[in-house]
Structure formats: C-alpha cells, structure tokens
C-alpha cells in the first residue's frame, strides 16, 4: 500500500473509529520512555510463601517438572479479587430504580486475579516460558469454567502492567471479569463482522490477515498459526493485534499447541516492546465469542496489546478521535528490529 507523507486521518475498517497519524509530534520532548524501578518483594501478597495474605485459590497449576528446575508447590494461582468492581450477587430481583430515562441494574459478575508466578517478577516478559504457557492455560480453563457456570454471558481476560495501565501491585498478574452483559465494544465487533460477512460472503478477519500479509509493512510476526501486526488505524504507538490464522471464534476452544504458541508469542512481543520502549506500562486483552453467540463463521478471537505511552488529551476527548504520533508502519519496523 502506497501511503502519502504527512499527517493522515485513518479509519479502522471494521469499527470505524478514526485516528490522526501525526508523526511530526514525535519530535516533541519524549515522554515515551519510562524506566522501570527495581522490583520490591517486601511482603508481596502474590509471592510464594505468602499465601496466607490472599483468599484460597480457585485454581492452582503446578510446575511441569520437565520444564522447571526451581520446583515450587504452584506456578500459577487463580484467586478471587478482594476488591471487585462487579457484585457477586446474582439474584434475579428486579432493580428498585425503574426510571426509563436513567436505567439501573445490578453490576453482577465474577472477578478473579491470575498470579503468573510465585517469584517476584514485574512483567509477563520476565516469566519463564513454562509460566507463560501455564498462564494462558489458566485463562482458558477459567473461561470454560465460567461458561459451564452459566450465570455470565462474557469473559474479559486482560492484563494491567504498571501504574499507568491500572495495576495496583507490581507482581506480574492478570485478571478475569465475567459479566452478565456482552460489552458494547465486543457487540460492535460482532455486529460489524456479521455485516461484513453478509455483504462479502467472507470473514472480515480472514480478509484482514490476507491483506496485512500481502502488504507486509505492518507485520511484526507471522507463522503457520498466528499473525501479529500493528493495526492500520493504530490508536497508540506500538499497538499490536494477534490473530489465529485459522478461523476460530472461541478462545475457549483453542487447542493446546496453539495456546502454547500464543503464550510464547505474547511473551516474545513484550520482550521486543520493552526493549524498544524501556519497559512501558501496557495492557493486553483477549476478545472472544460470548457464550450465547453463534458467530463462528464471521468472528475471530484475538489479542490486543496496548502500550501506555501516550495520553488522551482534550482534543481526543472532545472529538472522539485518537492521535497517534507514530505510524504503525514505523512501529512495526522498530519491533521487527528489536530482537
């Protein structure tokens, strides 16, 4: 794809949000390169040996003796979140506030913390490969447990790493939130994917992979099973999307080989990103099919990696636009070279 020089207004081809690619702004004094402080393991509740500081786990995955030389009783623990945003009350009582203008209902759901290692590491990139794999296995197991439970419609798996990304503890961990609603952005993806499929008789996600591979300028990694690239309308510098090349809608159904490859790819990409950006705060998240939705022909589960290196300011809040000071083509080139 031939792109003109200068600032550009790009539109996401699925969701329609618009991004100003303003590369001249990267010449301003840089605030992209935070340095990470040395880790402090002083009475961290997530460290091995401090299990008394947390609730009893809902899942504990032991070490694989063939991979681990530093054997501990557990390698990944899943705990209830003791400061939940969602209420564990799933009662079917009608809300008392019945105003058609101001609608209120109970924010019910399940909230869990996935502790990724008993050792005090501060990023997914620092995990041994075995722990990265176990973490993604825990994601899938807990998602499928929530499906079998039947009270929720959707599970959001995500990671906040660093204070700027919303983390309150530095020990590397991620989270699960299961809700009784399908979140608006996921519903938007589903609706737009279905509309594209009805119009073109093809999956948007398959076409996206095909076009990105053909162009190549935004590709960071591609193998027989997974593709990672900086999206055409990246909302922030170094944003990444990871997609399975096979048309899989449900992350809960990914086979063990693909799950292992995905875990190691996410780890590898974060190593590259942290090398390029000197350990930025970041989020990653997994979008997957809601439990009560049958959209297997036109939807793909996917992982989004979002480095928190810029801030939405007044223009962005006022207009709904995003401003990205680095083109995804340049970001992908930097990440490809950060090995």
Task: Tell me the C-alpha distance between 265 and 63, whole Å.
Answer: 20
Q: Which of 173, 287, 298, 302 is catalytic?
A: 173
Annotated binding site for Zn(2+): 44, 47, 120, 171
* Residue 173 bears catalytic tag: yes
Q: Where along the chain do its domains lie? A: 51-86+103-179, 183-337
pLDDT of residue 337: 94
Task: Tell me the C-alpha distance between 145 and 155, whole Å.
Answer: 10
pLDDT of residue 96: 60
In this chain, the answer to whether the domains covering 51-86+103-179 and 183-337 adopt an identical fold is: yes
Tokens of 39: 């880790």
The DSSP code for 127 is: S
| C-alpha separations of 188 from 135, 157, 166, 191, 295 in Å | 28, 18, 24, 5, 13
CATH for 51-86+103-179 is: 3.30.428.10
Domain covering 183-337, topology: HIT family, subunit A (3.30.428)
pLDDT of residue 23: 85
3-state DSSP assignment of residue 214: helix
What DSSP letter does each residue of 9-78 carry, written as one string?
Answer: EEE-TTT--EEEE-GGGGGSPP---PPPPPP--TT-TTSTT-GGGSPPPSEEE---TTT-SS--S-SEEE
pTM: 0.91
Task: Tell me the C-alpha distance between 124 and 303, whole Å.
Answer: 14
pLDDT tens, per residue, the chain with 339 residues: 555 567 999 999 999 999 999 986 554 435 455 555 555 657 899 999 999 999 999 999 986 554 444 567 899 999 999 999 998 888 766 566 678 888 888 889 999 999 999 999 999 999 999 999 999 999 999 999 999 999 999 999 999 999 999 998 999 999 999 999 999 999 999 999 999 999 999 999 999 999 999 999 999 999 999 999 999 999 999 999 999 999 899 999 999 999 999 999 999 999 999 999 999 999 999 999 999 988 778 999 999 999 999 988 999 999 999 999 999 999 999 999 997
Annotated binding site: 44, 47, 120, 171
Task: Tell me the C-alpha distance between 101 and 136, whole Å.
Answer: 42
């Amino acid at each position: 794809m031939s792109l003109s020089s200068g600032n550009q207004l790009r539109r996401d081809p699925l969701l329609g949000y618009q991004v100003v690619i303003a590369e001249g702004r990267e010449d301003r004094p840089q605030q992209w390169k935070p340095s990470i402080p040395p880790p402090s393991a002083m009475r961290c509740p997530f460290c091995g040996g401090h299990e008394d500081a947390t609730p009893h786990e809902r899942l504990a995955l032991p070490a694989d003796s063939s991979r681990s030389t530093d054997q501990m009783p557990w390698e990944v623990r899943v705990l209830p979140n003791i400061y939940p945003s969602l209420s564990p009350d799933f009662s079917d009582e009608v809300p008392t506030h019945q105003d058609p203008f101001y609608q209120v209902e109970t924010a019910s759901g399940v909230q869990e913390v996935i502790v990724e290692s008993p050792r005090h590491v501060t990023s997914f990139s620092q995990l041994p490969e075995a722990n990265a794999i176990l973490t993604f296995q825990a994601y899938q197991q807990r998602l499928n447990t929530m499906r079998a439970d039947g009270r929720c419609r959707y599970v959001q798996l995500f990671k906040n790493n660093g204070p700027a990304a919303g983390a309150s503890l530095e020990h590397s961990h991620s989270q699960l939130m299961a809700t009784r609603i399908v979140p608006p952005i996921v519903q938007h993806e589903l609706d737009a994917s279905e509309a594209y499929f009805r119009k073109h008789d093809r999956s948007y996600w398959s076409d996206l992979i095909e076009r990105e591979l053909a162009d190549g300028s935004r590709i960071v990694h591609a193998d027989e099973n997974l593709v990672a690239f900086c999206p055409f309308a990246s909302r922030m510098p170094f944003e990444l999307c990871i997609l399975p090349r096979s048309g899989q809608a449900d992350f809960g159904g990914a086979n063990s080989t693909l799950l292992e490859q995905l875990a190691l790819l996410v780890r590898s990409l974060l190593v590259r990103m942290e090398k390029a950006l000197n350990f930025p705060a970041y989020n990653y998240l997994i979008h997957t099919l809601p439990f009560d939705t049958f959209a297997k022909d036109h939807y793909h589960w996917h992982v989004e990696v979002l480095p928190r290196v810029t801030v939405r300011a007044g223009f962005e809040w006022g207009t709904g636009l995003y401003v990205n000071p680095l083109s995804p083509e340049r970001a992908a080139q930097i990440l490809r070279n950060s090995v």
